[in-house]
């Protein structure tokens, strides 16, 4: 049991809360779209229950592979950074070899799950894996690493939609863009903790390049763009009042995290990163899905 706990800690399993709710939005959008295309007398749990399980498996395995690879690739940096020195690989709790075996296993499970979903998802699976694994290299050469992370997590809503429908559509893509800017913005806030270390190791991040104050302003701009995307999605999708309540709460949590993190006070970075954004994604998804189902 302790081994399982160690691997869950390695990949920060609790952080699945960021993208999973958006995957559920994409999935429900896909179900509604699919239902309007034809009539099927079979119960919904026969039509979509298995795909929902497969989507969840894809989310967990893809994220586990990405986070595990990030920890594996950054193990030497993590060992030097006082904030990260106790992570499982530098602390010797999990060996690099076992971590790599876990990463490969997660990738294979992800590909297998996409194969069981549909042909399009299977063919796109190597691209998805490339994007989420490539992120781990970006901090070595570009301050735009935050955007690459955002792109990786933004695959959740469109990927879940594709799992159900096998086709692209603008609405889930709008939600994906919202995720890109939302995740990029809060990842910049998280990176504020390591400005000095990143600079000393010649690692790139927006705060390390432009400083704390400008970094926070860029984060705010990205969150404005995220809020704009959910508003556009609401108008385009002709959503009802429940959706707009969700939008108000989502934007409220974006604003809140910027009121508690200041250039001269980074003591609440973790509250902004985990608590505020975890609440934002879950609450927003609940209201969006409720709006879709009720209306």
- State pLDDT tens for residues 33-79: 877 765 454 555 567 889 999 999 999 999 999 999 999 999 999 99
Whole-prediction pTM value?
Answer: 0.94
Which residue reads 């570009």 in tokens? 142
> What does the alpha-carbon distance between residue 65 and residue 16 come to, in Å, rounded to a whole number?
12
Q: Are residues 263 and 212 in contact, defined by beta-carbon separation less than 8 angstroms? A: yes
217 Cβ contact list (under 8 Å, min separation 6): none
Structure confidence by residue, pLDDT tens digits, 238-275:
999 999 999 999 999 999 999 999 999 989 998 888 88
Q: Which of 254, 132, 134, 271 is nearest to 190 (CA)?
A: 271
- Domains of the chain, each with CATH number or no CATH: 2-294 (1.10.357.140)
Mind listing the pLDDT tens digit of every residue in the chain (295 residues)?
A: 678 899 988 988 888 888 999 999 999 999 988 777 654 545 555 678 899 999 999 999 999 999 999 999 999 999 999 999 999 999 999 999 999 999 999 999 999 999 999 999 999 999 999 999 999 999 999 999 999 999 999 999 999 999 999 999 999 999 999 999 999 999 999 999 999 999 999 999 999 999 999 999 999 999 999 999 999 999 999 999 999 999 999 999 999 999 999 999 989 998 888 888 999 999 999 999 999 999 7
Q: What is the dihedral of CA 245, 177, 273, 153, to 10 degrees?
A: 120
Terminal C-alpha separation, the chain: 44
Nearest to 117 by CA among 37, 29, 27: 27
- Give the SS3 label for residue 265: strand
pLDDT at res. 24: 97
pLDDT of residue 68: 96
């Amino acid at each position: 049991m302790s081994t399982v706990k160690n691997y869950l800690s390695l990949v920060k399993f609790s952080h699945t809360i960021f993208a999973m709710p958006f995957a559920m939005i994409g999935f429900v959008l896909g179900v509604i779209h699919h239902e309007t295309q034809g009539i099927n007398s079979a119960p919904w749990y026969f039509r979509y229950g298995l795909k929902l399980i497969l989507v969840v498996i894809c989310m967990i395995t893809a994220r586990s592979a990405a986070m595990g690879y990030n920890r594996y690739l950054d193990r030497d940096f993590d060992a030097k950074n006082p904030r990260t020195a106790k992570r499982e690989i530098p602390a010797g709790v999990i060996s690099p070899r076992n971590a790599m075996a876990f990463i490969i296993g997660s990738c294979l499970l992800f590909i297998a799950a996409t194969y069981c979903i549909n042909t399009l998802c299977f063919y796109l699976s190597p691209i998805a894996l490339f994007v989420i694994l490539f992120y781990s290299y970006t901090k070595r050469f570009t301050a735009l690493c935050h955007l690459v992370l955002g792109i990786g997590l933004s695959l959740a809503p469109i990927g879940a939609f594709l799992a159900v429908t096998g086709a692209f559509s603008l609405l889930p893509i709008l939600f994906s863009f919202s995720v890109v800017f939302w995740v990029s913005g809060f990842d910049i806030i998280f990176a504020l903790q390591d400005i000095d270390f990143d600079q000393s190791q010649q690692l790139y991040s927006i705060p390390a390049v432009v400083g704390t104050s400008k970094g926070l302003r860029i984060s705010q701009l990205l969150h404005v763009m995220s809020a704009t995307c959910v508003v556009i999605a609401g108008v385009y999708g002709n959503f009802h009042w429940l959706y707009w309540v969700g939008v108000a709460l989502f934007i409220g949590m974006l604003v809140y995290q910027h009121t508690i993190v200041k250039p001269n006070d980074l003591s609440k970075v973790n509250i902004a990163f985990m608590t505020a954004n975890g609440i934002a994604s879950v609450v927003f998804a609940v209201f969006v899905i409720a709006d879709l189902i009720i209306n």
